């Protein structure tokens, strides 16, 4: 998912200088997971803006699974609030940059309403792990190198993105030259290759990464787009996991560990 | 190593002479007058001088421009340091071809410190290549007359490529694995990061084992306490011994400038004599003396090795 955090209020209010009427819109995807665009966040933002003297014409809350970045889903909510969008000075979108831009494109090019669309959040990249601590491990470069690097991506996990590391700056405790809180990715790769018995590969040069797969903006065409029915069907598959419901509502493992300690 | 020898540095290494190299640092200025003066003082004391490329990610005069100018005006052979932090593979290739065109005979291929550590922290770091793939690229250009994409290069440059090693790296086995990778990629000589402790050096040589690639060990006799303190505090993988650091600190108390200089020299000669004596018993092919702005210390230290 795309990690994100809300921008400082001063920056948000800066965009709205000289503007009075706003629509506040959330997102039922990553922004709901990160609490930057769920129902509560939308309500809180609307409240703050009201306190600052702005008039909130509409709040658009998107339920989980309804992402601002997917036109078919997003458009249902935008069409429903057409009147408010027509009358507002700006739409504040509480999602990643994809969501903001889908809203911009749809309102402008399909609905025919050109309004300022402002980001409320700063996206911080694709992150995994959790439940509390997440980290960026993949940058969607278009040419996965994990098969050559013991399953750890140095392009993302190494501060310099070196295909052949470590650099000469490894700190005490095998930490990164740039940030002592981060592990050196190449020492991690070394240790994993040691466990796997593949250290010979460590001493062989990996070719420079093929950045040609990252010509921006990248476009993609889905042969068979996922409709609502497919989505529901895919969710039903969860039943195949034994005891799924109890897993869903159980405490995350990390919290359980902490609870035990206490 | 290629059979061809293009530079005085490589000639001495091939002949098995004990090699001394120095270091010059272009500054944030519109000229290279100071490194030129330093180079003049080092003539005859070192076979070649490294010319640093944005060290610690501080943006200074281009190391290529500086190398050319120093070499032309003083006759000092230069080791053009080239780092991947600021250039993609196209710019690196252009600079390598440019170096050949300007008569540069040695390149030291480096990844470089991250830009966030320097004086322009908002710059976008590049690192399209790394030190190993840069070494590979240079060898391909020189030996095969081809670039990384396989394009032909007419009249390819004739120069040698060196690499760096960090004996004091926190994870020595991973560091040595990387050094072996550079050797596999065709590096022709290695220069180490600064070392102050003989046991750090011994562990490095033991871990690396036998290699035909000559290794020059880096030392840093500091001109001031501040220089030594900077290395200790800010340069990853380098620990400065507390005794040496304290002796350097004490020189700050000496008011008379000339007497202070004498004491700084005495502290350095005392400390490095022991280190250099030890170096004689290691597989090192020579010594890279990174005495930036401190050329007067080179002659007395060279004497130790004679």
Q: Does the pTM exceed 0.90?
A: yes
CB B43 within 8 Å of CB B76? yes
The three-class DSSP label of residue A2 is strand
HEC string for B49-81: EEECCCHHHCCCCCHHHHHHHHHHHHCCEEEEE
Contacts of B285 (CB under 8 A, 6+ apart): B13, B16, B18, B19, B189, B214, B215, B216
Q: What is the percent of chain A with per-residue pLDDT over 70, rounded to a whole number?
A: 90
- Chosen for mutation from A169, A176, A189 (greatest number of chain B CBs closer than 10 Å) is A169
pLDDT at site A255:
64
Interface A-B, measured as beta-carbon pairs within 8 A, has a size of 105
pLDDT tens for A88-112 read 999 999 999 999 999 999 999 999 9
Strand-strand pairing, B19-24 and B286-289: parallel
Answer whether B237 sits within 8 Å of A186, measured CB to CB: no
pLDDT at site B1:
46
Confidence of residue A262 (pLDDT cuts 50, 70, 90): low
The C-alpha atoms of residue B87 and residue A219 are separated, in whole angstroms, by 27
Contacts of A165 (CB under 8 A, 6+ apart): A154, A158, A184, A185, A186, A189, B111, B130, B178
Taking contacts as CB-CB distances below 8 angstroms, the residues of chain A near B132 are 164, 205
Taking contacts as CB-CB distances below 8 angstroms, the residues of chain B near A171 are 170, 236-237
pLDDT tens for B91-141 read 999 999 999 999 999 999 999 999 999 999 999 999 999 999 999 999 999
pLDDT tens for A105-154 read 999 999 999 999 999 999 999 999 998 999 999 999 999 999 999 999 99
pLDDT at site B246:
96
CB B27 within 8 Å of CB B60? yes
**Closest-approach residue (CA) in chain B for A190:** B174
Does the structure show a pLDDT above 90 at A248? no
Name the stretches of chain B with pLDDT < 70: 1-2
Largest CA distance in chain B: 62
The C-alpha atoms of residue B232 and residue A190 are separated, in whole angstroms, by 27
- Work out the mean pLDDT of chain B and round it to a whole number: 96
Measure in Å the smallest separation between the Cα of A192 and chain B Cα atoms.
11
Rounded (5°) CA angle A180-A186-A192: 115
pLDDT tens for B158-190 read 999 999 999 999 999 999 999 999 999 999 999
- Work out the mean pLDDT of chain A and round it to a whole number: 93
- Peptide linkage before A166 cis (omega within 30 of 0): yes
**Closest-approach residue (CA) in chain B for A168:** B166
């Amino acid at each position: 998912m795309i990690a994100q955090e809300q921008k400082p209020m001063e920056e948000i209010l800066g965009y709205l200088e000289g503007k009075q009427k706003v629509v506040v819109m959330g997102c039922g995807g990553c922004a709901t997971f990160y609490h930057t665009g769920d129902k509560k966040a939308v309500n809180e933002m609307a409240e703050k803006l009201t306190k600052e003297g702005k008039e909130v014409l509409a709040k658009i809350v998107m339920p989980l699974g309804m992402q601002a970045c997917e036109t078919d889903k997003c458009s249902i909510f935008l069409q429903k609030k057409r009147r408010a969008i027509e009358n507002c000075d700006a739409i504040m979108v509480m999602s990643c940059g994809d969501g903001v831009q889908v809203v911009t494109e749809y309102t402008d090019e399909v609905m025919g309403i050109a309004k300022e669309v402002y980001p409320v959040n700063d996206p911080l990249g694709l992150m995994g792990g959790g439940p509390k601590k997440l980290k960026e491990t993949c940058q969607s470069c278009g040419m996965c190198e994990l098969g050559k690097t013991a399953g750890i991506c140095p392009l993302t996990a190494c501060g310099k993105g070196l295909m052949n590391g470590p650099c000469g700056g490894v700190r005490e405790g095998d930490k990164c030259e740039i940030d002592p809180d981060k592990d050196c990715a190449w020492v991690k790769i070394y240790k994993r290759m040691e466990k796997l018995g593949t250290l010979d590969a460590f001493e062989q040069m990996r070719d420079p990464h093929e950045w040609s797969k990252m010509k921006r903006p990248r476009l993609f065409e889905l042969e068979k787009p996922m409709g609502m029915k497919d989505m529901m069907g895919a969710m039903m598959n969860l039943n195949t996991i034994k005891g799924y419901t109890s897993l869903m509502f159980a405490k995350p493992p990390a919290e359980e560990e902490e609870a035990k300690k206490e | 190593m290629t059979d061809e020898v293009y530079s005085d540095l490589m000639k001495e290494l091939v002949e098995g002479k004990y090699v001394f190299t120095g270091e010059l640092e272009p500054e944030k200025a519109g000229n290279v007058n100071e490194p030129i003066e330093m180079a003049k003082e080092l003539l005859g004391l070192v076979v070649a001088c490294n010319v640093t490329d944005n060290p610690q990610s501080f943006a200074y005069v281009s190391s290529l421009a500086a190398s050319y100018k120093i070499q032309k005006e003083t006759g000092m052979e230069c080791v053009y340091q080239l780092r991947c932090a600021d250039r993609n593979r196209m710019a690196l290739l252009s600079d390598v071809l440019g170096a050949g065109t300007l008569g540069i005979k040695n390149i030291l291929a480096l990844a470089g410190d991250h830009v966030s550590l320097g004086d322009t922290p908002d710059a976008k770091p590049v690192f399209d290549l790394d030190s190993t793939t840069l070494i590979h690229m240079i060898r391909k250009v020189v030996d095969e007359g081809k670039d990384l994409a396989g394009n032909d290069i007419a009249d390819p440059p004739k120069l040698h490529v060196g690499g760096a090693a960090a004996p004091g790296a926190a994870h020595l086995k991973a560091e040595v694995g990387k050094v072996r990778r550079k050797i596999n990629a065709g590096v022709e000589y290695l220069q180490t990061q600064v070392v102050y402790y003989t046991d750090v050096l011994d562990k490095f040589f033991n871990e690396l084992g036998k290699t035909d690639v000559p290794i020059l060990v880096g030392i840093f006799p500091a001109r001031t306490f501040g220089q030594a303190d900077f290395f200790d505090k800010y340069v990853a993988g380098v620990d400065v011994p507390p005794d040496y650091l304290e002796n350097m600190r004490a020189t700050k108390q000496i008011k008379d400038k000339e007497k202070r200089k004498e004491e700084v020299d005495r502290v350095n000669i005392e400390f490095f004599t022991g280190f250099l004596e030890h170096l004689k018993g290691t597989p090192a092919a020579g010594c890279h003396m990174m005495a930036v702005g401190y050329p007067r210390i080179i002659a007395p230290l060279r004497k130790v090795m004679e």
